[in-house]
Structure 1
Amino acid sequence: MANNPQKSKGWFAAILGITGMSALAGVIVTAMVAPAIAVTGVAANSAIGVFDALPEYIDLGEQAEKNTLWAWRSDNPADGHIRIAEVYWQDREEIPLERMSEHVINAAVAGEDRRFYDHAGVDATSVFRAALGNVLAGDIESGASTLTMQLVKNIFVQRSLYLPTEEERDEAYRQATATDFDRKLNEMKLAIGLEKRFTKDEILEAYLNIAPFGGNTYGIQAASQRYFGKIAQTLSPAEAASLIAIVQYPTTRNLSTADNYEANEERRNVILWSMWQEGYLTEAQYDEAVAIPVDSNFVQIAEPTNGCLAANEYAKFFCDYVVRNVENFESLGATPEERLDRWRQGGLDVYTTMNMDLQRTAQDRVWELVPNDLETIELGSATVSVEIDTGRILTMAQNKVFNDTEDGGGITATAVNFNTDRPYGGSSGFQVGSTYKIFALLAWLQRGFGLNEVVDASQFEQDQTEFLDTCADGGGPWGGIWEFKNSANLEIPSVSVFEATTRSINSAYASIAKELDQCEIRRVAEALGVHRADNNPLQTNPAAVLGTNEIAPLTMASAFGGIANGGKTCEPVMVDYFETTDGVRLAGQESSCRQSLTPDVAAAAASPMRGVVTGGTGTRANPGGDVPVIGKTGTTDSQVHTWMVGSSTEVATAVWVGNIVGDTSLRRISGGTVMRHDIFRPIMDRANEMYGGEAFPTPPARLQNGAGVQLPDITGLYIDEAIQLLEGVGLKLEVQAGAAGVVVSYEPAPGTLLARGQTVYVTLGEGGDDRDRFVPSTVMPNLISPARSEVEIRGLLQEAGIYGPLQAYCFEGSAGSDTANAEAIGQLPDAGSFVRIDVQVEVAMNCFAGAAPNPDEVLE
């Protein structure tokens, strides 16, 4: 504490006690505003009445303080946490007088209010001096502000900054800093009220903690650290006076720029002289202090400790993401405005979901593999991991370093978080390539189709008008010919859906999409939380199945986590809990999970996704070990963007490597197309070590074979007979060669389990009446006992080798008209009879009222 014991309040305090505040206030106000009274004709007793009507006091209140962000770290023996950032709305650290240099306290009193210990909030001597000056000037040019009055002004300034709208903030700030009669009058009375409620030390401490020191720096501790790189307790006389010189004109006297040095030094030397005159400095101390120039040797600007720019190098982007989500932290207030106010007040310990051990693995790997200083390509990379049954974000890394300053930090830096959506500091997302095929696979399975069903993979041109799209906002209507190719120009006539997934065959997935509603694919994606990073609707053009939508890595990791989590998707969260300065724990973000898919559909999709990692396009990304991982690769046209997204039953990870802007092929960079795998592998290896994982469930038989049709042998049939037979079982026929005759060959091979709607390509040749017309016979199974659905009946006929057309119709007395929601009650031919395998089967159904239940429908 300074060697300046509180002096007597003198005659001013005595008069105040004898005559009462109102009477003295009238004298003060009359003298203070004499010019205004002369101009306006306001009587002195009117001013006294106005003074009496003002509020008696103002609370000092708590000033905005830092919020501290923490991450989990296993090697911290204390509590398992590590500090990753200190985030201020205002750069301030409140400290008591005992932690301030005596030179600071003395400089404040000598430089701003010499009679601070003698007055009771308003300095009568200064008021009368200021009043005389105002009379001569004909206006209120001087306000004779004491430290207490300045404190009142600063409290109102701070309050203005908390208001919800810019208009309200601007107006309140204008009122707080106005030089008019009303504001000065209010300031005086509230200063007197403060002096009645608080000690001089409390007022001085509050003033030094609230005072502005330029930019976002408030309070003596933050100013000392900002401009001299030291704590306030160690300030020298010259340093202390230089800081106090800032408070009246923080814009033009702060020490952040050499342009202000001269003005600061001039005011500093005035304060030092006052300190000497008041006996706070010896003559030798004064001479030594004023001899020090305010220059670059005197000022020691310290790197900011505030904000995400100063955060732990591994956590800067995650820090920024947390700060940008404050409005969503419900425990901080009932409305977004209340949450922002609570955050600005500060004093919160924020315990985030980040796992610093796993984060280091992710970030080090990205920095190691993906350069951030290439000039030939704006190369970017991002990876994020989430805990799938909670949504907790465990990692968030990218190749560029974080820098949100005006100069941007150069080619190696960015303020854009590649992992997140645009509203939260992210980009507009990146095309996800073939990772999007998984949503078509899910829609396929929800329809009751199977993994083993074979689809056409021979076509590389599709008429877009033949694709169904019931979405009104998907960007359509779509027209024209869509041309595409397979990776490495692979040509294959047909392939199972399982293999189409593990080998990521574009032509096969075009056929899959053609059998679906494109809007149906989008609905599945949306059920898993998938959305475009720019918040526009997901496009539903036919090419979208190959990944033309631009999506953030965090979204993809969360969606794949939902598949691995038995169809239950959890929204990403980043805060476990908060703690206030007085030890009160506030809830963080509670996990919000929903059943997006049935467990059976999720299990069926996971089966080929496991194959992607164990022997398909993602083999290089396989972490191995005892914990199984599923996944899907993605590569856009010309290798502009590459992806690897996958999950165990505990942790999901998405990796993107590609062009930040532009369309340069990653093939031009050594290892460019495999970086994604080499990043994914060690991250998941470490995640598996830390979190473990279980085997994925076996998919049900009904989703392996689905509603597929075993292709009958049509060799030797006339073309019209072949067409009738194939259409009867739900297939199409296209003549590939020959103009007439009988079928001599065709693809796929007989016995292939084809998905309904697929095309059989035939070659016609010579043949006639002497050909073998024998058609095999078999026994007609019982289709009605027990009562069966249409899907079950088709399965029985398939098992019996009967490939003729099935005609199911509603019985006349049925309540409904949809055979999909019905049970068989009659059949022709009868059960047990011998029939040709191409026989037409008729089934009478008892159709129920209402929509047909779909057990694989997306659950909202």
Structure 2
Amino acid sequence: MSSHKTSLAQALGAVLGAIGASVLAGALVAAMITPSIAVAGAAVSGTVSVFDSLPDDLAIDRQAQRNRIFAVGDGQPVQIATVFSQNREEVSWEQVSDFAKDAAVSGEDRRFYEHGGIDLTGIARAAVKNLASGDVGEGASTITQQYVKNTFVQSALDLPTEAEQDAAYEAAIEPSFDRKLKEIKLALSLEKQYTKQEILLAYLNIANFGGNTYGIQAAASRYYNTSALNLTAAQAASLIAIVQSPSALALDNPSNYPANTIRRDVILDWMLSDGKLTAAQHAEAIATVEDATTITLTEPSNGCEVAHDHARYFCDYITQLIKDLPALGADAAEREANWRHGGYDIHTTLDLGLQTAAQDAVWANAPDNATTLNLGSAAVSVEVGTGRILTMSQNKKYGTADGDITRTAVNFSTDRAYGGSSGFQPGSTYKVFTLLNWLQNDHGINEVVDGSSRTVPQRSFVDTCGGPWVGPYPFRNDEGTSGQMTVAKATQKSVNGAFISMAMKLDLCQIRDTAASIGVHRADGAELETNPSSVLGTNTIAPLTMATAYAAIASGGTYCKSIAIDRVVGPDGAELGGQSADCAKALESDVANTAAFAMSKVMLGDGTADRANPDDGVEYIGKTGTTDSSNQTWVVGASTKVATAVWVGNISGHYPMRSYTSPKRIKGGLIRHDIFRTIAIAVDNHPALRGSGFPDPSDDLLVGSGVAVPNVSGQTIEAATAVLEANGFTVTVGSAIASTNAVGSVVSTRPATGAIASRGTAVTLLPSDGSLGVMPDVIGSGDVAAGAALADLKSRGFTNLNADACAVLPAERASSAGNVVDQSPAAGSPAKLVDPIVLTIGNTAC
């Protein structure tokens, strides 16, 4: 140190002992930043009171750093994503190389261990230069002051909007009197509260090392693919060189290498001069060339686009849930601010093994590059009884599309509010909510309803929370099943007409409420519609919602909200809890179990989802769904352990799935089944998730409040009507049918005798037209004469008689000549009275 600098420092030290810190600070700052000696005195006196009024309560706090997202793999946490606003990983004193610590001191504040927060010698030097130049060019900032300034910068970057960030950032770095004064006072305060070691470590963790890289650990990883602990002298000096001017000296741009090397070598020289390096270490470091052989640029994996390739949409869903996560704060704004600041470990419900199987199944069966239609697919699985989301996959790659048809940032599995779409019509998978409400109203699955395609008046529907609905409602069945059938059969074959008949005996509002009680809601946030067509699945719903609802049925009626986060670990290592599934009984067990019994038949040989059944010994319940023109196709099903929803259809547009053929030569309407079956097999092979048999249905709900249709065959219309009305049925009379009964008497009914039908059901009487007779036996023992036989037949009403046929009798039967030996139709057969009756007459010769 020169004699001039020594005497100046000593003089300032003497001043410090003679006057208060306020006066000293005012004098130093005024001299340093006021480019005119003439006003310095006034500045000093004005600064004293300002300095005293400034706050001095700055604490060393944690800095913004990385958030980590974990799935579960083989029972252990597996990191699937890193999400951060700033690339930083805070480290402890022991995790930083001595070279880095020494480079920081030698390069940024050589008297760090000697001053009390402000460097008097440095300030004096800066003041002289500033006064000489007439500008504020020198700041004389110590490491402590730089830490203070960086905390202001960090506070600016934590603000919610870009405009607020920019304004606060400019205020944090502007070379103003107020900022410098505040910086000095806070630096002095920090030095009183913390050790030099704590301040130096805080500085190394907060400093910017270019772009979005903050802290010595992230810098070591990004530029050298190493840790802060393992930095060499050359590497440490190169990194510390960056903080002087990150944009000009950062090592992510080869054009910065020469300037960085110059600054690095200055720091290395000072380290040698300060006794922090030996001559040999210094020579080795100086000889290190900064180029592609010594700099290993490693871009940090930030965000869901670079998450685990099988879990990127789930990663996106987690980030969308942050605003609702109580563990991160009291309200959405606080939670998102804490998330931006980072340092959280999010332990999710995702089972990585199952997720891999599910994602592979979707990719294998639903191509992401189809051009015939805008093909989309999603599959999501939820654990029964807990609501934990185990899988979430779709056919498109995650990310911004930019015209690439294989990519999308929209998560098809979730609601619009959580990064999803507006949902998709679930078709007949929605019918189970009518089935549930049917059972809630004491109807049974063995009750018979009309399954015919037809047109019904919309005013026939009760809707206590909508309507009244007017006009005709025409509908058709998707396949050939029609006529009278049990509700169980209608569920197995997914017959539209039957479910419309059921809905006409219920309240559309109650059907909606039943669906809502197990979590069903529209993906676009609108209210569930209750018009008559809603029974057949016209509301747009996300696959996650459908899986969660079916899980409630499979559980015996307990609804659990879907959850994706088991627990959160805070930046300080504290356990902060996760999402709450809020499980509660939503359906009576008898209702849920009887519905499950009916739904189990859907997965068997005659059911619409038999192709989706894994056939591995685990019982499944389920339902298929196909919308008009097969625009969307679904399978939703469950074992007693896991519920899965699979959607395959048009993201936009209206191309029939049944007209599409996949590259695997599978018809579009069958893709859903193959995806579901593959996922179900993986689930059933999971030792903790293999399902068992479902409980038996309720005996009462097999029959329900239905009544067996009594046998009124043979009765008059009036008598039969009285019997049926006494049993609670309404009566209609159909067209007469051919019968041996007396004209006008009842032949049969629809529903048939013995069928279980609910009270109020219209039973149709089918009267006889009397056009049939029963053929008598006119052969006898061979002793009925032709004349007598003809007379008998005429008396019974037969009109078309023929006795011309002749049969030669053997000699021993010659006595039967002239008698009937054969008749057509045979005795006891019904025959129309106008049909030809042929009698064969025996004779000795013909």
Q: Which category describes the TM-score, using the shorter chain as reference length? A: 0.7 to 0.9
Report deviation, 1:271: 1.6
Relative distance call for 1:442 and 1:108 in structure 2 (3 A) is same
1:682 is aligned to: 678
CA distance in 1, matches of 2:717, 2:35: 111
Relative distance call for 1:518 and 1:91 in structure 2 (3 A) is same
2:775 is aligned to: none
Relative distance call for 1:601 and 1:350 in structure 2 (3 A) is same
User: Does the CA-based 8 Å contact 1:603-1:697 persist in structure 2?
Assistant: yes
CA distance in 1, matches of 2:418, 2:770: 70
Report deviation, 1:680: 1.8
Q: How many residues align?
A: 745
User: Does the CA-based 8 Å contact 1:746-1:762 persist in structure 2?
Assistant: yes
1:447 is aligned to: 441
SS at match of 1:587: coil
CA distance in 2, matches of 1:8, 1:608: 97
User: Does the CA-based 8 Å contact 2:499-2:535 persist in structure 1?
Assistant: yes
1:660 is aligned to: 651
Q: 1:695 aligns with which of 693, 696, 707?
A: 693
Report deviation, 1:498: 0.6
Aligned: 1:466 with 2:469: no
1:32 is aligned to: 32
User: Does the CA-based 8 Å contact 1:456-1:493 persist in structure 2?
Assistant: yes
Aligned: 1:754 with 2:757: yes
Relative distance call for 1:617 and 1:579 in structure 2 (3 A) is same
Over residues 693-729 of structure 1, what are the superposed CA-to-partner deviations in whole Å (9 max), with x where a residue is unaligned? 3322222232111222333456677767766665554
Relative distance call for 1:165 and 1:718 in structure 2 (3 A) is farther
User: Does the CA-based 8 Å contact 1:456-1:494 persist in structure 2?
Assistant: yes
Kindly report which structure 2 residues correspond to 1:69-218, keeping only aligned pairs within 5 A, or say none: 69-74=69-74, 80-96=76-92, 99-100=95-96, 108=104, 112-113=108-109, 116=112, 119-128=115-124, 130-131=126-127, 143-162=139-158, 172-173=168-169, 175-218=171-214
Over residues 755-813 of structure 1, what are the superposed CA-to-partner deviations in whole Å (9 max), with x where a residue is unaligned? 34444456667579xxxxxxxxxxxxxxxxxxxxxxxxxxxxxxxxxxxxxxxxxxxxx
CA distance in 2, matches of 1:181, 1:471: 67
Relative distance call for 1:178 and 1:482 in structure 2 (3 A) is farther
Aligned: 1:673 with 2:669: yes
User: Does the CA-based 8 Å contact 2:31-2:131 persist in structure 1?
Assistant: no
Q: 2:477 aligns with which of 470, 486, 489?
A: 486
Report deviation, 1:151: 1.2
2:410 is aligned to: 416
1:18 is aligned to: 17
Relative distance call for 1:536 and 1:61 in structure 2 (3 A) is same
Report deviation, 1:344: 4.5
Aligned: 1:551 with 2:541: yes
Over residues 343-367 of structure 1, what are the superposed CA-to-partner deviations in whole Å (9 max), with x where a residue is unaligned? 4454444332222232232222222
Aligned: 1:278 with 2:276: no
Over residues 566-624 of structure 1, what are the superposed CA-to-partner deviations in whole Å (9 max), with x where a residue is unaligned? 11111112233334566543333344111111111111111110111123111112223
Relative distance call for 1:480 and 1:238 in structure 2 (3 A) is farther
Relative distance call for 1:209 and 1:424 in structure 2 (3 A) is same
Kindly report which structure 2 residues correspond to 1:614-629, keeping only aligned pairs within 5 A, or say none: 614-615=604-605, 616-629=607-620
User: Does the CA-based 8 Å contact 2:23-2:47 persist in structure 1?
Assistant: no
Relative distance call for 1:303 and 1:183 in structure 2 (3 A) is closer
User: Does the CA-based 8 Å contact 2:453-2:475 persist in structure 1?
Assistant: no
User: Does the CA-based 8 Å contact 1:408-1:415 persist in structure 2?
Assistant: no
2:842 is aligned to: none
Over residues 184-216 of structure 1, what are the superposed CA-to-partner deviations in whole Å (9 max), with x where a residue is unaligned? 210111123233444444333322211234554
- Give ranges in structure 1 of 5+ residues lacking alignment: 1-6, 769-860
Relative distance call for 1:766 and 1:613 in structure 2 (3 A) is closer
User: Does the CA-based 8 Å contact 2:103-2:271 persist in structure 1?
Assistant: no
Over residues 352-407 of structure 1, what are the superposed CA-to-partner deviations in whole Å (9 max), with x where a residue is unaligned? 2222232232222222222222233332222222221121222222222333xx56
Q: 2:622 aligns with which of 631, 634, 645?
A: 631
- Give ranges in structure 2 of 5+ residues lacking alignment: 1-5, 738-742, 772-846
User: Does the CA-based 8 Å contact 2:415-2:422 persist in structure 1?
Assistant: yes
CA distance in 2, matches of 1:498, 1:677: 22
Report deviation, 1:54: 2.1
Identity in percent:
48
1:63 is aligned to: 63
Q: 2:218 aligns with which of 222, 226, 246?
A: 222
User: Does the CA-based 8 Å contact 1:10-1:118 persist in structure 2?
Assistant: no
Pick which of 307-316 and 178-187 moved more: 307-316
CA distance in 2, matches of 1:273, 1:549: 69
Aligned: 1:433 with 2:432: no
Q: 1:606 aligns with which of 596, 613, 616?
A: 596
User: Does the CA-based 8 Å contact 1:238-1:292 persist in structure 2?
Assistant: no
User: Does the CA-based 8 Å contact 1:709-1:755 persist in structure 2?
Assistant: yes
User: Does the CA-based 8 Å contact 2:453-2:476 persist in structure 1?
Assistant: no
Aligned: 1:575 with 2:565: yes
Pick which of 361-370 and 733-742 moved more: 733-742
Q: 2:326 aligns with which of 330, 344, 364?
A: 330
User: Does the CA-based 8 Å contact 2:443-2:706 persist in structure 1?
Assistant: yes
1:316 is aligned to: 312
1:521 is aligned to: 511
Pick which of 103-112 and 599-608 moved more: 103-112
Report deviation, 1:25: 1.2
Structure 1 counterpart of 2:642, which letter? V
SS at match of 1:194: helix
CA distance in 2, matches of 1:36, 1:612: 91
Relative distance call for 1:117 and 1:40 in structure 2 (3 A) is closer
Structure 1 counterpart of 2:406, which letter? T
CA distance in 1, matches of 2:7, 2:258: 32
2:520 is aligned to: 530
Pick which of 357-366 and 196-205 moved more: 196-205
SS at match of 1:551: coil
Relative distance call for 1:106 and 1:512 in structure 2 (3 A) is same
Report deviation, 1:631: 1.1
User: Does the CA-based 8 Å contact 2:422-2:540 persist in structure 1?
Assistant: yes
1:706 is aligned to: 704
Report deviation, 1:237: 7.2
Over residues 409-443 of structure 1, what are the superposed CA-to-partner deviations in whole Å (9 max), with x where a residue is unaligned? 94333322222222222222111111100000011
SS at match of 2:669: coil
Structure 2 counterpart of 1:444, which letter? W
User: Does the CA-based 8 Å contact 1:29-1:48 persist in structure 2?
Assistant: no
Relative distance call for 1:24 and 1:285 in structure 2 (3 A) is farther
User: Does the CA-based 8 Å contact 1:362-1:383 persist in structure 2?
Assistant: yes
Report deviation, 1:326: 2.5
Structure 2 counterpart of 1:600, which letter? D
Relative distance call for 1:700 and 1:199 in structure 2 (3 A) is closer
Pick which of 199-208 and 668-677 moved more: 199-208
TM-score (normalised: structure 1): 0.77
Structure 2 counterpart of 1:450, which letter? G
Relative distance call for 1:8 and 1:49 in structure 2 (3 A) is same
SS at match of 2:576: strand
Report deviation, 1:459: 3.0
TM-score (normalised: structure 2): 0.79
Pick which of 359-368 and 430-439 moved more: 359-368
